[in-house]
Structure 1
Amino acid sequence: MSAGVTSIRTLHLSSDSERIGRSAGGRQAGPVTTTSAAGSAERTATFRDVFAVAEFRALFASFGIFLIGETVKMLALSVLVYERTGSGLLAALAYVTGFLPHALGGVFLLALADRWPPRALIVGYDLLRLAMVAVLASGLLAPGAMLGLVAVVGLFGPVSSAARAALLPEILHGDAYVLGRSLLTMASGGTQVAGFAVGGLLLGLVGPYGALWLTAATCALSALLVRLGLPVRPARARAGGTTGGRGAVRETWRVNRALLGDRRIRGLLLAQWLPGSLLVGAEGVAVPYAAGLGPGASAGVLLMAGALGMLVGDLLVGRFVAPRRRERWTPWLALLLGVPMLVFVARPALWPAAALFAVSTAGFAYQLGLARRFLDAVPEARRGQAFGLLSTGLMAVQGLAAAGAGALSEVIAPGVVMALAGAASLVCTLALWRVLSPAAAPPAAAPPAAPMR
């Protein structure tokens, strides 16, 4: 759930960007050092502070359009493959075909997120998606070839996502960065819901091929917004400089090992990967749980309640809780993920179950309390890869949790599986309590910049 958005400074910016940075506050990316209240660690940023930044508006709008386009594409491709093959398995593969390539790209290609200029990388990926969707919409490929094309293009998805996430702290500073991350998380949930609604409508009006052509238009619009709305920034790490001329795959493996080898970074990664991702196992069995409640019970009610709880939690904690208090609340919010799920062992009815889901997923706001600490822990030159590793780990753990819960539901009641998912989240939260608590966070074993050059 929280993986929709995972979390996303000091580079050579144009004078326009320096002026933009002042409107958000915090440390500037150029010679300007003025600090405003919006960037102060003591003051809670406001939506006005964040949306006053023109670069964030462009990034936010392009991200929403990107997600709507991806959702429509998945729906259209799934329907198209099913119409041409009659195979439910191939239709399901079409719907989730981007998952494995995303994980593989996160393992082998993340170094590109720091070796290429971020604006060029994001625009380039949007244009690559545009070409891919145009080929799909042309109807020239067989279903197997269509899935293969989507998988190949999907390899570069985590690189673009990492570049986008790493841009956020360069655009917003101080508490504005945390609120901006919260807004992107909320946008992730809201735009995907909108994408499902728009996709269903388009499929009925213009069919899957027409929906794919309209998806191509979203790719072009997203690329245009990024191209016009973001200034040019250099790559954080040069292929012939800090990387020593290594290939992207070798460099990705080396830096991933270095990031995971740092005790502070590893702890913060685990803290963001485990407590929330394990809860996804409970969502994975929402359908059989609702089916067991009898006629009229819908898994959609549970899943919508979970999405609503996450959005409300991010909104309240990100906007109305002061930065230091938010960080102190981090372990307690993480506990909130698991505790309500324990009640599912008693098999509550649909609406009480929906309320429990909403309360539980509000705990995902615990990740906002880790955002600035993670940002400060990773080397600036490897920020893109660090955010990409965070996203890839989230996807992997969530996928394993959902698969494990589904397997368990074959032998034990879904309500018990949900309770076990909550218990697993609680155990991880307690085990990581010192990492989640800012006052007791372990120091880095060594300065991370040296081994990552």
Structure 2
Amino acid sequence: MTTQERGATYTEVFASREFRVLFGGFTLLVAGDQVKMLALSALVYARTGSPGLSAAAYMLGFLPYIVGGTFLLSLADRIRPRALMIAGELLRVVTCLLLAFAGLPIWAMLVLVLATGLFSPVFGAARSALLPDLLPGDAFVLARSVLNVTAAGAQIGGLAAGGAILALAGPAGALAVTAALSALAAVVLRYGLPDFPARNASAGKPEGDGAVRETLRVNRALLADPRVRGLLLAQWLPVSLVVGAEAMLIPYLGNSAGLALAAASVGLAAGSFVVGRFVSPTGRERLAFPLAVVSGLPLLAFAAQPGLAGAALIVLLSAAASTACQLGLQRWFVDAVPEPVRGQAFGLAAAGMMTGQAVGGALVGLAAELTSPHTAIVVTGAATVISSLVLHRSLRAVTRRPA
């Protein structure tokens, strides 16, 4: 029986030395980014006293995905993945040290974060596209599950560690710690990961398009393919709406919202682990559609205006279903996209998800302005169910993989 038929195991995934290297680098990346953005926010607030600028500084790490995902993603296939990921870590080292010790004015600090963040989708795309090469078949899906669980844990751990480091060393010290983590990750990648060739055979050729033109061309081609477009929308819409609903927990719960948000992270990790560990490969794919629908249903319970415990349970269930749904789509997506542009395809999926979450949060916020926070969450739950029903073809077995 093949790995694809019986399903991989986490033991098999971690048996890959290359995956262990990627896993370690990814953990350092997520935790370090949480510390960096928290420290930057604290630094801006300390120098300006402005809560608005402090919040804006914290969110700046997410905004560049829109521009980087639109214009630069072809670099993920044109440059050797190890070199690209190392460049990402070194760029983060330089950025953190400049923020901490260069004495830049606030506007320059924000511009620096925006400018260097433009390449974040490219670095992430290189890592994601490498996974199917290292771990083919169902092992790739479990590897994605591991990274989902790691992301949730590292976000919580990074925020907790960031708070402790801020208290002990201040914002500059926290940024220096982030720089050290990134430098360590660069060393781990350099000596632990093979130097795979660039995926796109035309990379670097004089007759080839420039990075921006190539990115735009491939993005158009991917979105023009009905199967790829449907799978992209299936990865974007339900999750973006669920995350948008979570953005209303602060106005809904006030100072207690942090506990509910932590519950959402627990749900993300639990959904990825349970479905990845205990459901067969074909079972995950069959569950993609019902899980997408189910991810919106718990949010309807906000019509009863639950308290903290009820709200935490609701968002935990919703987050668990939405992230588990994503696992069922991964192999379909790998099969649907051309191998030479796999890095850009994964980058487009990630950039669209980040953009969708920002847009989803804004739309839910607008709905709350017109109604109330709990009503906006209910509307978002209904929108999640409706969008999943509309996308039912993409959320079902749209293609069969050769045996």
With structure 2 as the length reference, what TM-score do the two structures score?
Answer: 0.96
Rg bigger for which structure?
Answer: 1
Equivalent position of 2:252 in the other structure: 289
Residue type at the aligned position of 2:248 = V
Q: Does 1:326 align with 2:284?
A: yes
The answer to which of 236-245 and 80-89 deviates more is 236-245
Q: Residue 374 of structure 2 is aligned with which of 392, 415, 423?
A: 415
Partners in 1 of 2:5 and 2:163 — Cα distance? 45
Q: Does 1:112 align with 2:75?
A: yes
Q: Does 1:193 align with 2:156?
A: yes
Equivalent position of 1:85 in the other structure: 48
Q: What does residue range 262-273 of structure 1 map to in structure 2 within 5 Å?
A: 262-273=225-236
Distance 1:246 1:146, change over 3 A: same
Q: Does 1:128 align with 2:91?
A: yes
Q: For residue 134 of structure 1, give the secondary structure of its aligned residue in structure 2.
A: helix
Residue type at the aligned position of 1:304 = A
Q: Does 1:63 align with 2:26?
A: yes
Residue type at the aligned position of 1:387 = F
The answer to which of 361-370 and 407-416 deviates more is 407-416
Q: Residue 178 of structure 1 is aligned with which of 135, 141, 148?
A: 141
The superposition leaves residues 160-193 of structure 1 with CA deviations (integer Å, 9 ceiling, x where unpaired) of: 0000110111111111110000000111110011
Partners in 2 of 1:281 and 1:243 — Cα distance? 44
Partners in 1 of 2:53 and 2:306 — Cα distance? 35
Q: Does 1:381 align with 2:340?
A: yes
Q: Residue 346 of structure 1 is aligned with which of 304, 328, 333?
A: 304
Q: CA deviation at 1:350?
A: 2.0
The superposition leaves residues 330-377 of structure 1 with CA deviations (integer Å, 9 ceiling, x where unpaired) of: 111111101111111121222122212212211120110110000010
Q: Residue 261 of structure 1 is aligned with which of 224, 229, 234?
A: 224
Distance 1:239 1:174, change over 3 A: closer
Q: Is the contact made by 1:44 and 1:319 (CA closer than 8 Å) also made in structure 2? A: no
Partners in 2 of 1:301 and 1:98 — Cα distance? 23
The answer to which of 370-379 and 282-291 deviates more is 282-291
Residue type at the aligned position of 2:290 = W
Q: CA deviation at 1:398?
A: 0.9
Partners in 2 of 1:373 and 1:278 — Cα distance? 22
Partners in 2 of 1:240 and 1:406 — Cα distance? 43
Q: Does 1:428 align with 2:382?
A: no
Residue type at the aligned position of 1:218 = L
Partners in 2 of 1:101 and 1:310 — Cα distance? 24
Q: Is the contact made by 1:202 and 1:211 (CA closer than 8 Å) also made in structure 2? A: yes
The superposition leaves residues 213-240 of structure 1 with CA deviations (integer Å, 9 ceiling, x where unpaired) of: 1111011011111111110111111445
Q: Is the contact made by 1:434 and 1:442 (CA closer than 8 Å) also made in structure 2? A: no
Q: CA deviation at 1:153?
A: 0.7
Equivalent position of 1:43 in the other structure: 6
Residue type at the aligned position of 2:304 = A
Q: For residue 232 of structure 1, give the secondary structure of its aligned residue in structure 2.
A: coil
Q: CA deviation at 1:273?
A: 0.7
Q: For residue 361 of structure 1, give the secondary structure of its aligned residue in structure 2.
A: helix
Equivalent position of 2:263 in the other structure: 305
Residue type at the aligned position of 1:283 = E
Partners in 2 of 1:204 and 1:301 — Cα distance? 21
- Structure 2: unaligned runs, 5 residues or longer: none
Partners in 2 of 1:241 and 1:65 — Cα distance? 31
Partners in 2 of 1:305 and 1:214 — Cα distance? 27
The superposition leaves residues 57-77 of structure 1 with CA deviations (integer Å, 9 ceiling, x where unpaired) of: 000000000111111111111
Equivalent position of 2:313 in the other structure: 355
Structure showing the higher helix proportion among its residues:
2
Count of residue pairs brought into register by the alignment: 399
With structure 1 as the length reference, what TM-score do the two structures score?
Answer: 0.85
Moved >6 Å (runs of 4+): none
What is the root-mean-square deviation of aligned Cα atoms in Å?
1.5
Q: Residue 184 of structure 2 is aligned with which of 221, 226, 234?
A: 221
